[in-house]
Structure 1
Amino acid sequence: MKAELQKNVIDTFKELNYKLASFSETELNTVPFEGSWTAGQVIQHLIMGCSGFPEMCAGKTEKKSGKPDQKVKDIEALFFNYDLKMKSPEAIIPSDITYNKNTLTLSLLKIEKELLNVSETYDLTLTCLDSEVPGFGKFTIYEWVSFALIHIQRHLNQLQAIGKVVIEK
């Protein structure tokens, strides 16, 4: 379970970094269409949403019965339904500013390292008691890391769509 999760972290961040690299500084900060975030804002949203895992996992936890990946299929079903338009929680809405590609890249590298460290050093079957996702309740550490990766994968689809509009051919 641990090795598979770590491979998923590496593969997901490799794809995300590759996608980020495909945007120029200008393209990164270009609004593709009305009502959309820029690619930079999408990446910043992911940074905000995937930060703080070491602190959360070091908080209150408990062993619960059930499978440690019990909620992953439900998370995937929701996040991989691209017909569903989701509204971001206020706490992870990115600012409408000009984003720096290098700064975003460094932040992503830090988060990747943190998620790899969490998946290596913590008992993935423990349930985190200090945080939860509305509609899902409390997650195991395995589910939290999976949630972050599924969240990234959903937005990779969005970055692909933004790239089709703003990247000069």
Structure 2
Amino acid sequence: MINKEEVKNDFIKVFSAFENSIHLFDDQNFNTVPFAESWTPGQVVRHVVLASDGFEHILKGEVKDTERPFDELKPRVKADFLNFGIKMKSPDFILPKMKDYDKEQLTTKIRSIKEAIVHEIDALDLTKTCLGFEIPGYGFFTRYEAIYFVIYHTQRHNHQLNEIYRFLKIA
């Protein structure tokens, strides 16, 4: 049995922490490259928006009954995305462009994504398998796993934002 309140609280906690990390940056350093081969804080946030925006449509899209434990892939996703010792390569379709980003506009989008997905957590059967999008390296996620994919992906980039902030603060 899925504890939807726990899922919702996990989701809200991570997205709220991400919002708080965005606000560590002023408008100038939000678009500053902190060190070689790094994204700017603005690019990090834009990447999370690109990866998460519209995810509620995948959750609401075509599904089927799940023929395995609904949470089977969650530990692997967590281990992969919360291993901060490895550098991951982003798929091209969610790569942020090198440009100046509006911090408030992206923050508003993050809030909108949070609200949309929280609504679906309450409304949907999270044990169903989503057929609308196959995650590279994982296959099709259940709604539950998809939500935790977004959580762990955002958590990873929250860590990245905090590391960038720490670097810029010292520099």
Question: When the two structures are superposed, what TM-score results if normalisation uses the length of structure 2?
Answer: 0.95
CA distance in 1: counterparts of 2:107 and 2:136, whole angstroms: 29
2:7 is aligned to 5
Aligned to 1:77: 79
Secondary structure, aligned partner of 2:132: coil
Please give the residue correspondences for 1:111-126 in structure 2 after superposition, counting only pairs within 5 Å: 111-126=113-128
Partner Cα distance (1:165, 1:84) in 2? 18
Name the count of aligned residue pairs. Answer: 169
Instruction: Give deviations 1:127-169, integer Å, cap 9, x for gaps.
Output: 0112111221100001101100100111111111100122479
What is the percentage of aligned positions where both structures have the same residue? 34
- For residue 25 of structure 1, give the secondary structure of its aligned residue in structure 2: coil
Gapped runs of 5+ residues in structure 2?
none
Which residues in structure 2 correspond to 1:104-115 (within 5 Å)? 104-115=106-117
Does structure 2 conserve the Cα–Cα contact (< 8 Å) formed by 1:69 and 1:143?
yes
Partner of 1:151: 153
The Cα shift of 1:21 comes to 0.7
From 143, 162, 165, the counterpart of 1:163: 165
Q: CA RMSD in A?
A: 1.3
Q: Counterparts of 1:167 and 1:13 in 2: how far apart (Å)?
A: 23
- For 1:53, the equivalent position in structure 2 comes to 55
Equivalent position of 1:30 in the other structure: 32
Name the stretch that deviates more: 59-68 or 97-106.
59-68
Q: Distance in 2 between matches of 1:53 and 1:109?
A: 14
Contact 1:75 1:147 in 2 (8 A): yes
Per the TM alignment, residue 58 of structure 1 is displaced from its structure 2 partner at its CA by 2.3
Q: 1:63 aligned to 2:65? A: yes
Contact 1:30 1:38 in 2 (8 A): yes
**What residue number does 1:99 align with?**
101
